[in-house]
Structure formats: structure tokens, C-alpha cells
Amino acid sequence: MSFDALTDWGTRTQEQAKDHRDESGGACSTGSFDNDKDYFIEVDGQKFAGLHLLVDLWGASHLNDLKHIEKALCDAAMAAGATILHCHLHHFTPNGGISGVLVLAESHISIHTWPERDFAALDIFMCGDCDPHDTLPVLEAAFKPAEMLIGEERRGIVK
């Protein structure tokens, strides 16, 4: 498969993704991370891989605006202190929903939107020193939901 075919699928190397964002005016920048660091978290004597927030936004706006969503996700990741490695968003139709993922050194933020219902579902999973709760004010400001429902799970609990 040629590189052009891979880029059509949204698969790029870190440097190619950076070049693409520079050309398109995208909001994300790539970073680096330490492969030798233990990114597991310890809270109240319990060690686990990371915190996973499940966020439902009802009555939200800008859910069919690709550039707005990219900026919101990148701003949210940076607010949490995360290292952005790659962003891929897919717009299903010009005025339709958007699905995508922001790949982080510390895990990911994913989004799926249903603009016709003013609804978005986000997964925010982070490990290491990042706090996924720090993304919430950014997401609330960006999408202005009437209601924000949040679930939380500790993933990868060490027994």
C-alpha cells in the first residue's frame, strides 16, 4: 500500500501529521514522551493504569464543526498536561456527525457526535501525571452543553 493511500485513511507518521496540521491550520502540536517512565497511578494505596472518564454532552453546540472539535480536543488535552501524538477526525457528511480520536502518550480522547440530537459522547482516558478532570472545563466552554454527564472508572487496577 502506498503512503498516499495511508494518508487518505488518516494514517501518518508523527512528522507527517505535524506537516499536515501546519498546512491545514489545525490546532494540535505533537510532543514526545519517555518510554522508560512508569505511567501507572497510585491513589489511596491503589495502583492502576489510568482514569477513564465517560462524558455525555446533551444540548451541545459546534458538533459538526471539524476545526472547532479538533481545537477543543487539543486544548482539553493540553489543559490536562497530556502529550499529543496524533489527531484523526472523520466528518461523515458536510453537516453530519464527526468521530475521531486524539492519541496521547498518556492514552487518548475520543469523540462521537450526533449534531441532529445535539449530543456528543467522549472517552477521556489518561495515565501518568495527567488528570482527565482538567479537560472538563475546556470541553464545557467549547461545546456549551445544557447537560454534562460524567462517569469515571479506574482502569487496570493492580491486584
Catalytic pick from 20, 91, 112, 133?
112
Active-site residue, 112 included: yes
Catalytic pick from 62, 107, 108, 130?
107
Active-site residue, 130 included: no
Catalytic pick from 28, 74, 87, 127?
127
Q: Where are the alpha helices (DSSP H) in 10-95?
A: 14-24, 66-79
Active-site residue, 127 included: yes
Buried b / exposed e over 12-40, threshold 16 CB at 10 Å, is beeeebbeebeeeebbbebeeeeeeeebe
Active-site amino acid positions: 107, 112, 127
